[in-house]
Structure 1
Amino acid sequence: MYTLIISVAISTAAALGLYFLTYQIFWPLFIMVVGILGLNYFIGKKFMKKLTALFKSVEKDIQAGRVEKAVEKLKEGYPYAKWQFMVKEQIDSQIGILYYTSKSFDQAEPYLQNAFSKNWMAMSMLAASYYKKGDMAQVRRVMDKGIKGAPKEPFMYALYAWFLIEKSDKAKAVEVLSKGVAKNPVDDRLSSNLDAVKNGKKLKMQNYGNYWLQMHLGGKNPQGGQQYQQFLMNQRMKRK
Structure 2
Amino acid sequence: MYNILISAASGVALFLLLLFAVKLPWWASFLLGLVVFTVAFILISRVIMKKVMVSIETAGRDLQAQPPRFEKAVRELKEALQYGKWQIYVEGQVNSQIGMIYYMKRDFSNAFPYLEKSFFKNWAAMGMLAICYMKRQKKDKMISTFEKAVQWNGKESLLWGLYAYCLNECGDVSKAKDVLAKGLKKLPGNGPLKDNLDCLEQGKKMKMRNYGDMWFQFHLESLGALQKHQMAAMGGRMQRRTVARR
Normalising by structure 1, report the TM-score: 0.86
1:36 aligned residue: 37
**1:99 positional shift:** 0.6
2:9 aligned residue: 9
User: 1:216 & 1:134 partners in 2: Cα distance?
Assistant: 17
**1:120 positional shift:** 0.8
CA deviation vs aligned residue, 1:123-161 (integer Å, no higher than 9, x gap): 111111222233212211211122223222221111110
The one-letter code sitting in structure 2 at the alignment partner of 1:46 is: V
User: Does the alignment pair 1:134 with 2:137?
Assistant: yes
Q: 1:220 aligns with which of 222, 226, 232?
A: 226
2:27 aligned residue: 26
User: 1:211 & 1:131 partners in 2: Cα distance?
Assistant: 19
The one-letter code sitting in structure 2 at the alignment partner of 1:5 is: L
Q: 2:146 aligns with which of 138, 143, 162?
A: 143
User: 2:230 & 2:201 partners in 1: Cα distance?
Assistant: 33
User: 1:84 & 1:205 partners in 2: Cα distance?
Assistant: 37
CA deviation vs aligned residue, 1:35-85 (integer Å, no higher than 9, x gap): 323321221011111111111112232123221111111111122112111
CA deviation vs aligned residue, 1:198-230 (integer Å, no higher than 9, x gap): 333322111111121111111315649x9xxxx
- Range moving further from structure 2, 133-142 or 72-81: 133-142
Structure 1 or 2, whichever has the larger Rg, is 2
Q: When the two structures are aligned, how many residues end up with a matched partner? A: 225
1:49 aligned residue: 50
**1:186 positional shift:** 5.0
Greater RCO (Cα-Cα under 8 Å, separation 6 or more)? 1
Match of 2:206, SS? coil
In structure 2, list runs of 5 or more residues that go unmatched: 234-246
| Greater helix content | 2
The one-letter code sitting in structure 2 at the alignment partner of 1:37 is: T
The one-letter code sitting in structure 1 at the alignment partner of 2:79 is: E
Normalising by structure 2, report the TM-score: 0.84
- Range moving further from structure 2, 134-143 or 101-110: 134-143
Q: 1:123 to 1:22 in 2, by over 3 A?
A: same
Q: 1:6 to 1:189 in 2, by over 3 A?
A: same
In structure 1, list runs of 5 or more residues that go unmatched: 227-240
**1:8 positional shift:** 0.3
What is the CA RMSD across the aligned residues, in angstroms? 2.0
Match of 1:144, SS? helix
Match of 1:85, SS? coil
The one-letter code sitting in structure 1 at the alignment partner of 2:73 is: A
User: 1:55 & 1:220 partners in 2: Cα distance?
Assistant: 27
